[in-house]
A and B are shown apart, each in its own frame.
Chain A
């Protein structure tokens, strides 16, 4: 089976937040992430951005609240 490229993996990491991935997509994604530190960083960064967006909208954007 072909391991997906970094570009395809960034697409899959994004789509994983919007739809269920197929088994084949999940397998390729996890295989790639096991081998690629750069894409593991992007995975964590996408998750961070989602949390940042949630906090921004909630108004949870100052030090006191962030530490609670």
Chain B
């Protein structure tokens, strides 16, 4: 009789695991900002899942289980990268550019220089494939540091404390990065989508 693989034993086949690949790659690409790195880390994730399929208890969904493995893989990549180039030293130039971009939005007294645009019913954009291409481009346009903090918060669901620990920054610095990321994404979406859609 053919030996059952661990994944079959747990009721999750390798073919079923592979169905989650597009979702996992999208998740990893947001963090790593590179298609081939994302595919590599997803491949490692699926291999771990296949090897440890017998540990999958079924208490969570397969996707939640895979996402948990992927999070650890992504954090491993960050830690390796941080040893080579600490985050504080990464992207100093684009950091200053992003800060200048933020300052340029406001008068010296803190009022908006230009009234933020009216996006109408923005939820309609969800139905437009082209919007998602613009959205992805805008997430890639953030500085490395801001994007990393933003995706850890919004995609990986880490708390501010966890982000501070992973990136070795203070809470105040973390809030600054998250604010910059949101302002940058808002400005990009307004320029590249909503001002054109009106």
Contact = CB atoms under 8 A, between A and B. Distances in A.
A49 B155 CA distance: 12
Contact of B126 (A7, A14, A17, A52): A52
Contacts of A50: 154
Contact of B182 (A38, A39, A46, A62): A46
Given A49-B186, A57-B27, A14 B110 contact: no
Given A6-B111, A7-B106, A42-B186, A61 B132 contact: yes
Interface string A1-14: 00011111011001
A57 B189 contact: no
A67 interface: yes
A56 B179 contact: no
Contacts of B183: 10, 14
Contacts of A44: 119, 122
B93 interface: no
B58 interface: no
Given A15-B179, A42-B186, A52-B135, A8 B160 contact: no
A38 B175 contact: no
Contacts, number: 100
B2 interface: no
Q: Is the interface of A mostly helix, strand, loop or mixed?
A: helix
Given A17-B178, A39-B116, 11 more contacts: A6-B106, A10-B183, A14-B178, A18-B174, A44-B119, A45-B186, A49-B189, A51-B123, A52-B125, A52-B126, A59-B26
- Kindly list the 3 A-B residue pairs having the minimum CB-CB distance in the complex, ordered from nearest: A5-B110, A7-B110, A14-B179
22 contacts: A5-B111, A6-B112, A7-B111, A10-B179, A10-B183, A11-B175, A11-B179, A14-B175, A14-B182, A15-B175, A18-B178, A44-B119, A44-B122, A45-B122, A45-B186, A45-B190, A52-B125, A52-B135, A53-B139, A53-B155, A56-B135, A57-B26
Interface of A: 4-8, 10-11, 14-15, 17-19, 37-39, 41-42, 44-46, 48-63, 66-67
Interface of B: 22-23, 26-27, 30, 105-106, 109-112, 115-119, 122-123, 125-129, 132, 135-136, 139, 153-155, 160, 174-175, 178-179, 182-183, 185-186, 189-190
